[in-house]
């Protein structure tokens, strides 16, 4: 029995060795991050240019960890493949890709925890609305020196996101000498259509109406009502409750979330109120999936005619086999265009030990080739202003009418933006509560107009 | 030497004279070490309190207190040792043992060994097959040895020689497999790479890491020396004391883990509740500010008369009640309503089901298993299924209600029941909390059923039989025998369900997706959901911690009341 015990002990020791030894091959990246944690963010930024020369001179491979939030497993696999390809391309980067989200651990929560602990990856993706908070807290690197050294051109990317990524936190205004990241991709809203339901209701085809310039708010309400009235158990339209859905009608009505310099609330302006009043009326008509209900299940079940959602919903829609579907642009309001331009950016951890290599990775991840590969999966639109990228994107069908997304991007969109002079999460929470109260009938539109900017004032303090 | 004492010095017999000097010399060395350690802690305290090291107030306070404790503890241990006080040995052992662990953690951190642990799971993928092969080979050898032992047993002297040969061959095959898989494993795992990486990590900060290693060796020597039997004799340690010390030593890994990973964060959250902190930047001490901000209440004749920063949350006959944090009070009112509804729903059906199961009808065992499924199913997964079922337009629940309505309308003139049914279980503020109650009750009642069933098995059958002879029916027996006998079980079930209900988070979180947590209109905002919002969505970790501690006091108070009532009842009966 003693020999067996020795054997078991041997196995245990070997197991322990395996745990440690296997890390030996890929642990240097972790070590790099760990030692990076010790360096001060500000000094890292300041010394970025100086260290650039020595790094450039070095031919050694730099180990980096990077992270982005994939929308599905296929995308996660693709990102992993891209990471391996960049490593194999011989540009001096040895990459470790982390998907970063799981069922029990949302991407943002995990990232913030790691940033707090100093163990976040060298390069990571964040939503556009978070850029200001991260930059102001000193969590992400101002990569302007690296961008200048590499010949980075901001004009290659859509202006909406890029403008927000070149803001001086002290003034909240775009300024030279600031590059907080590069947009990974962009997206817009479109209307996902159940063509069979629309046909069954005898309603006009939104795609045709859009082509003829007749796809207006009123037509949208009319088609919705027709579907809800004429098809048993069906609903005309559906949207989820988060800010962009009702926000489109605010923008499209000629209003906006914020004043011109984004230092105060503008949701009480007559134009904003007009948009919200129309939106409230849509729900009050009973033609829609009730406000706050997830509209995706009824759309996939084939009982919803029109569903407002972004490009990220396309992979899910492609699984639909029970009915014919396509997309159309959002209906036009008093202010033409005004679809959202959603974006998120790759940013460099302020505590990275290798700022130049990290920037090199950001550029590699936002190259035309990589963006095309990712957008081919359907969930993303390239963030580069590049006709070739758009042409490629149009071929990634279904939906047949990909042009609806491109129109959204090109027709005077409103870029979602961080609040450089305020606190976006606080604004989101306060405005969301008020809009929910409005949509569920707890308060009237007049009461909303009186209270909304008071309720959100705390976000600008 | 006591049987419960380990003579650590025996482990060091080889360089015995150096490592095991006479007792008096050993004590002197340990005393000197304590003085050196106290000086080291004093140096840390000087750098902290003298602001040589520029640290934020919170880490400065924590490290400063730690260093001060280190000075006092080391000097105290040294004094006790010099005075040959009986407690000196254990004081020295304890201080050095804890310091040893602390220094090991520092070395662990310096070498960034945590990143290796992060990749622990990955190692299984890398060398999974050789590992499985190795495990099977080891098992194979064990089986072969036992087989051979049985065959060579005197009682089996007539075992065929061929079997013996097979058993021997099996053992050799097993050994060969161990060597083969072991080599494959080592080849895949590259131990030299491990050494290289560890060497690089060590060299990165060689001076500090060398100091850590020296400290670890010194501390280890002090610990072993103080634990030795000769020291126990020297300090007249009683057998009971030695036994207790051994117990504490065996308990220490768990205890230290508990302190580091449970009590530590708990205390940290208490500390941080007195700070304004976004989780990233330097925290600012605000005293009871977070508690005042959270609990602040004011009463005025009208809403307009409330102080600035207060919002009216309730209009009472005597005036308007305003709160500085209305969302907190909303979460409290929600959880009270939730408790009132969810606890009975999770307990009463469980009791009824347990009674039915106890009747012993055919299939009750299967039902008992089925009822337990919600308790073992993943909450998030199950809740996502409920979310689909509760969808107002395509969900099963509304469809079912509509179907029932349809049947009623078939028999009642005038079609009084509405169709189609579109109850906004997840979107209507007036019913959203009931949806959470429903899912919570469903997820809890199975486990409670099993608890009640276990409790019922402890009720003597004779009681029921005697009652039956006296002519008591099943209802009478339930209320006069079963229910009173289950009082302790009921107490446990109710207490644990109340605690779980007060901690409600996961169900709300999953049901609310893709809406914000607490949707709609904060109708499902519970205290834990609120503290999550504060911490992770509004980066207000200080106030989130304050809410957590207020909730703790609430749960603790409720449980204490329940315990006292239960104890009083037990004493009375």
* Weakest-pLDDT range from B7-11, B468-472, B473-477: B7-11
> What is the arithmetic mean of pLDDT over A442-450?
95
Same domain, A256 and A313: yes
> What is the arithmetic mean of pLDDT over A362-384?
87
Reported as a single tens digit per residue, the pLDDT across A258-274 is: 998 889 999 999 999 99
Which residue, among B330, B377, B427, would best test binding to A if mutated, counting the most A CBs under 10 Å from its CB?
B427
Cβ-Cβ contacts under 8 Å, A432 against chain B: 516
Q: How far is A433 from chain B (nearest CA, A)?
A: 6
Average pLDDT of chain B to the nearest whole number: 86
Query: Do the Cβ atoms of A7 and B533 come within 8 Å?
Result: no
Same domain, A219 and A347: no
Residue A154 in any domain: the answer is yes
Reported as a single tens digit per residue, the pLDDT across A187-225 is: 999 999 999 999 999 999 999 999 999 999 999 999 999
* Weakest-pLDDT range from A37-41, A227-231, B357-361, B484-488: A37-41
Q: Which residue of B has its CA nearest to A232?
A: B420
* pLDDT confidence of residue B371: 78
Tell me, what DSSP letter sits at residue B155? G
Q: How far is A357 from chain B (nearest CA, A)?
A: 21
Residues B224, B29 contacting (CB under 8 angstroms): no
Q: Which residue of A has its CA nearest to B422?
A: A290
Confidence of residue B374 (pLDDT cuts 50, 70, 90): confident
* pLDDT confidence of residue B318: 84
- Report residue B314: phi and psi, to 5°: -160, 135
Pairing of strands A167-168, A340-348: unpaired
Strand partners, A98: A67
* pLDDT confidence of residue A317: 92
Confidence of residue B191 (pLDDT cuts 50, 70, 90): low
Which residue, among A1, A3, A18, would best test binding to B if mutated, counting the most B CBs under 10 Å from its CB?
A18
Q: Which of A35, A112, A437 minimises the CB distance to B204?
A: A35
Same domain, A225 and A295: yes
Residue identified by tokens 């009208």 is: B302
| Range from A53-62, B235-244, B494-503 that averages highest in pLDDT | B494-503
Q: Which residue of A has its CA nearest to B128?
A: A18
Q: How far is B492 from chain A (nearest CA, A)?
A: 29
Query: Do the Cβ atoms of A28 and B178 come within 8 Å?
Result: no
Query: Do the Cβ atoms of A429 and B533 come within 8 Å?
Result: yes
Q: Which of A104, A113, A429 minimises the CB distance to B380?
A: A104
Reported as a single tens digit per residue, the pLDDT across B139-170 is: 999 998 888 888 877 566 677 778 888 888 88
> What is the arithmetic mean of pLDDT over B318-342?
93
Fold for domain B328-390+425-572? MetI-like fold (1.10.3720)
* pLDDT confidence of residue A101: 66
Cβ-Cβ contacts under 8 Å, B424 against chain A: 290, 292-293
A252: which 2 tokens? 């499209």
* pLDDT confidence of residue A104: 53
Residue A411 in any domain: the answer is no
The percentage of chain B sitting over the pLDDT mark of 70, rounded to a whole number, equals 93
Residues B197, A31 contacting (CB under 8 angstroms): yes
Integer angstrom CA distances of residue A54 from A28, A41, A151, B267, B300: 20, 19, 18, 45, 68
CA–CA gap between residue A68 and residue A374 (Å, rounded): 12
CA–CA gap between residue B250 and residue B238 (Å, rounded): 18
Same domain, A430 and A453: yes
Average pLDDT of chain A to the nearest whole number: 85
> What is the arithmetic mean of pLDDT over A57-85?
84
Q: Which of B138, B193, B388 minimises the CB distance to A25?
A: B193
Note down the domain range covering A295: 189-338+422-460
Q: How far is A292 from chain B (nearest CA, A)?
A: 5
Q: What is the pTM of this model?
A: 0.76
Strand partners, A190: A309
Same domain, A198 and A309: yes
Q: How far is B22 from chain A (nearest CA, A)?
A: 35
CA–CA gap between residue A348 and residue A139 (Å, rounded): 9
Same domain, A232 and A309: yes
* pLDDT confidence of residue A46: 37
Q: Which residue of A has its CA nearest to B281?
A: A137
Total of domains in chain A: 2
Integer angstrom CA distances of residue A231 from A203, B190, B293: 11, 67, 52
* pLDDT confidence of residue B246: 87
Reported as a single tens digit per residue, the pLDDT across A270-300 is: 999 999 999 999 999 999 999 999 999 999 9
Query: Do the Cβ atoms of B515 and A8 come within 8 Å?
Result: no
Confidence of residue A226 (pLDDT cuts 50, 70, 90): very high
Integer angstrom CA distances of residue B456 from B350, B354, B441, B459, B460: 12, 8, 21, 5, 9
Strand partners, A347: A124
Confidence of residue A236 (pLDDT cuts 50, 70, 90): very high
Residue A66: which CATH number?
3.40.190.10
Asked if residue A41 has pLDDT above 60, the reply is no
Query: Do the Cβ atoms of B519 and A436 come within 8 Å?
Result: yes
Residue A408 in any domain: the answer is no
CA–CA gap between residue B165 and residue B482 (Å, rounded): 64
Cβ-Cβ contacts under 8 Å, A11 against chain B: 134-135, 138
* Weakest-pLDDT range from A10-19, A178-187, A302-311, B551-560: A10-19
Same domain, A227 and A81: no
Tell me, what DSSP letter sits at residue B290? H
ipTM of the complex: 0.76
Q: How far is A214 from chain B (nearest CA, A)?
A: 30
Which residue, among A34, A194, A349, would best test binding to B if mutated, counting the most B CBs under 10 Å from its CB?
A34
Query: Do the Cβ atoms of A35 and B200 come within 8 Å?
Result: no
Domain boundaries, chain B: 1-237, 289-323, 328-390+425-572
Same domain, A282 and A327: yes
B435: which 2 tokens? 């949806």
Same domain, A155 and A291: no
CA–CA gap between residue A400 and residue A387 (Å, rounded): 19
* pLDDT confidence of residue A21: 40
Asked if residue A255 has pLDDT above 90, the reply is yes
> What is the arithmetic mean of pLDDT over A311-333?
93
Which residue, among A27, A351, A424, would best test binding to B if mutated, counting the most B CBs under 10 Å from its CB?
A27
Q: Which residue of B has its CA nearest to A118?
A: B280
> What is the arithmetic mean of pLDDT over A139-161?
94
* pLDDT confidence of residue A18: 42
Query: Do the Cβ atoms of A24 and B520 come within 8 Å?
Result: no
Same domain, A54 and A74: yes
> What is the arithmetic mean of pLDDT over A120-144?
93
Same domain, A162 and A197: no
Query: Do the Cβ atoms of B394 and A31 come within 8 Å?
Result: no
Q: Which residue of A has its CA nearest to B146?
A: A1
Element (H, E) at B497: helix B487-502
Query: Do the Cβ atoms of B424 and A33 come within 8 Å?
Result: no
Confidence of residue A54 (pLDDT cuts 50, 70, 90): very low
CA–CA gap between residue A161 and residue A381 (Å, rounded): 13
Same domain, A219 and A269: yes
CB-defined contacts A:B, below 8 A:
195
* Weakest-pLDDT range from A26-35, B131-140, B174-183, B492-501: A26-35
Asked if residue B18 has pLDDT above 80, the reply is no
* pLDDT confidence of residue B198: 79
Reported as a single tens digit per residue, the pLDDT across A105-115 is: 678 888 888 88
> What is the arithmetic mean of pLDDT over B513-539?
89
Q: Which residue of B has its CA nearest to A286?
A: B422
Q: Which residue of B has its CA nearest to A236?
A: B393
Asked if residue B99 has pLDDT above 90, the reply is yes
Q: Which residue of A has its CA nearest to B519?
A: A292
Residue A100 in any domain: the answer is yes
Q: Which of B190, B278, B279 minimises the CB distance to A25?
A: B190
The percentage of chain A sitting over the pLDDT mark of 90, rounded to a whole number, equals 62
Query: Do the Cβ atoms of A294 and B178 come within 8 Å?
Result: no
Residues A180, A345 contacting (CB under 8 angstroms): yes
Asked if residue B292 has pLDDT above 70, the reply is yes
CA–CA gap between residue B311 and residue B462 (Å, rounded): 62
Q: How far is A294 from chain B (nearest CA, A)?
A: 7
CA–CA gap between residue B494 and residue B500 (Å, rounded): 10
Cβ-Cβ contacts under 8 Å, B145 against chain A: 3-4
Asked if residue B510 has pLDDT above 80, the reply is yes
> What is the arithmetic mean of pLDDT over A224-253?
94
Confidence of residue B119 (pLDDT cuts 50, 70, 90): low
Residues A406, B490 contacting (CB under 8 angstroms): no
């Amino acid at each position: 029995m003693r020999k067996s015990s020795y054997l078991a002990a041997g196995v245990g020791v070997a197991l322990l060795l395996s745990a440690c030894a296997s890390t030996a091959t890929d642990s240097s990246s972790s070590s790099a991050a760990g030692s990076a944690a010790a360096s001060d963010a500000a000094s890292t930024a300041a010394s970025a240019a100086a260290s650039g020369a020595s790094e450039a001179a070095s031919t050694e491979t730099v180990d980096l960890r990077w992270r982005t939030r994939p929308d599905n497993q296929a995308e996660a696999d693709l990102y992993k493949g891209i990471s391996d390809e960049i490593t194999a391309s011989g540009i001096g980067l040895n990459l470790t890709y982390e998907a970063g989200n799981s069922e029990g651990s949302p991407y943002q929560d995990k990232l913030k925890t790691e940033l707090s602990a100093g163990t976040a990856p060298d390069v990571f993706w964040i939503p556009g609305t978070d850029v200001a908070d991260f930059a102001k807290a000193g969590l992400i690197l101002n990569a302007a020196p690296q961008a200048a050294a590499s010949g980075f051109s901001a004009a290659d990317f859509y202006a909406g996101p890029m403008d927000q990524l070149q803001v001086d936190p002290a003034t909240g205004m775009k300024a030279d000498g600031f590059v907080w990241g590069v947009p990974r991709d962009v997206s817009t809203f479109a209307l996902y259509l159940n063509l069979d339901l629309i046909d069954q209701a005898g309603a006009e085809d939104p795609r045709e109406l859009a082509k003829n310039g007749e796809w207006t708010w009123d037509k949208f309400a009319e088609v919705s009502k027709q579907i809800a009235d004429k098809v048993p158990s069906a609903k005309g339209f559906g949207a989820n409750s988060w800010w962009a859905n009702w926000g489109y009608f605010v923008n499209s009505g000629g209003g906006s979330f914020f004043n011109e310099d984004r230092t105060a609330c503008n949701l009480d302006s007559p134009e904003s109120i007009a948009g919200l009043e129309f939106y409230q009326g849509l729900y009050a008509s009973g033609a829609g999936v009730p406000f706050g209900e997830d509209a995706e299940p009824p759309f996939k079940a084939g009982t919803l005619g029109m569903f407002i959602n972004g490009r990220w919903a396309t992979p899910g829609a492609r699984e639909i086999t029970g009915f014919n579907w396509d997309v159309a642009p959002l209906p036009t309001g008093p202010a033409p265009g005004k679809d959202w331009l959603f974006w998120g950016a790759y940013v460099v951890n302020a505590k990275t030990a290798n700022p130049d290599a990290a920037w090199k990775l950001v550029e590699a991840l936002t190259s035309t080739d990589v963006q095309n590969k990712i957008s081919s999966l359907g969930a993303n639109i390239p963030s580069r202003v590049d006709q070739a990228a758009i042409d490629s994107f149009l071929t990634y069908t279904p939906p047949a009418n990909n042009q609806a997304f491109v129109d959204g991007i090109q027709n005077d969109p409103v870029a979602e933006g961080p609040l450089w002079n305020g606190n976006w999460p606080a604004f989101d929470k306060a405005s969301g509560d008020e809009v929910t109260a409005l949509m569920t009938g707890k308060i009237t539109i007049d009461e909303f107009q009186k209270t909304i900017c008071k309720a959100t004032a705390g976000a600008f303090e | 030497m006591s049987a419960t004492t380990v003579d650590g010095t025996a482990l060091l017999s080889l360089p015995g004279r150096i490592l095991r000097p006479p007792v008096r010399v050993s004590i002197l060395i340990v005393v000197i070490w304590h003085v050196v350690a106290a000086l080291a802690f004093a140096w840390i305290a000087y750098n902290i309190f003298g602001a040589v090291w520029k640290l934020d107030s919170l880490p400065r306070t924590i490290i400063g207190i730690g260093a001060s404790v280190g000075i006092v503890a080391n000097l105290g241990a040294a004094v006790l040792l010099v005075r040959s006080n009986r407690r000196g040995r254990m004081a020295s052992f304890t201080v050095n043992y804890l310091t040893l662990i602390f220094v090991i953690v520092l070395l662990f951190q310096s070498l960034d060994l945590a990143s290796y642990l992060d990749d622990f799971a990955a190692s299984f993928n890398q060398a999974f097959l050789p590992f499985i092969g190795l495990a099977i080979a080891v098992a194979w050898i064990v089986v072969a040895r036992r087989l051979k032992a049985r065959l060579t047993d005197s009682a089996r002297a007539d075992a065929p020689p061929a079997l013996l040969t097979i058993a021997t061959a099996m053992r050799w095959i097993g050994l060969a497999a161990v060597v083969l898989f072991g080599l494959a494993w080592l080849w895949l795992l590259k131990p030299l790479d491990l050494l290289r990486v560890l060497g690089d990590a060590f060299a990165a900060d060689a001076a500090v890491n060398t100091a850590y290693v020296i400290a670890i060796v010194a501390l280890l020597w002090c610990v072993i020396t103080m634990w030795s039997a000769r020291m126990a004799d020297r300090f007249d340690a009683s057998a009971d004391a030695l036994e207790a010390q051994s117990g504490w030593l065996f308990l220490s890994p768990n205890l230290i883990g508990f302190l580091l990973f449970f009590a530590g964060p708990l205390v940290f959250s208490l500390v941080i509740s007195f700070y304004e902190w976004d989780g990233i930047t330097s925290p600012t001490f605000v005293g009871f500010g977070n508690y005042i901000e959270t609990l602040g209440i004011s009463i005025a004749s009208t809403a307009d008369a409330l102080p600035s920063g207060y919002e009216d949350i309730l209009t009472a006959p005597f005036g308007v009640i305003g709160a500085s944090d209305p969302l907190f009070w909303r979460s409290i009112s929600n959880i009270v309503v939730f408790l009132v509804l969810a606890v009975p729903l999770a307990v009463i059906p469980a009791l009824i089901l347990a009674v039915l199961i106890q009747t012993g009808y055919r299939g009750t065992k299967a039902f008992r298993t089925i009822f337990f499924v919600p308790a073992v199913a993943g909450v998030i997964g199950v809740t996502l299924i409920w979310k689909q079922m509760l969808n107002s337009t395509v969900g099963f629940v509304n469809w079912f209600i509509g179907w029932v309505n349809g049947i009623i309308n078939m028999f009642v003139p005038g079609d009084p029941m509405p169709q189609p049914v579109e109850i906004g279980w997840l979107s209507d503020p007036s019913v959203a909390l009931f949806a959470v109650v429903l899912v919570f009750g469903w997820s809890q009642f199975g486990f409670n059923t099993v608890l009640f069933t276990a409790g019922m098995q402890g009720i003597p059958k004779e009681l029921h039989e005697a009652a039956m002879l006296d002519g008591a029916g099943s209802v009478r027996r339930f209320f006069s025998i079963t229910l009173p006998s289950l009082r302790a079980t009921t107490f446990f079930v109710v207490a644990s369900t109340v605690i779980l209900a007060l901690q409600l988070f996961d169900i709300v979180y999953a049901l609310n997706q893709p809406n914000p947590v607490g949707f709609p209109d904060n109708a499902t905002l519970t205290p834990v959901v609120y503290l999550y919002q504060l911490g992770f969505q509004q980066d207000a970790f200080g106030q989130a911690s304050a809410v957590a501690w207020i909730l703790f006091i609430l749960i603790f108070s409720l449980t204490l009341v329940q315990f006292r009532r239960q104890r009083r009842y037990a004493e009375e009966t």
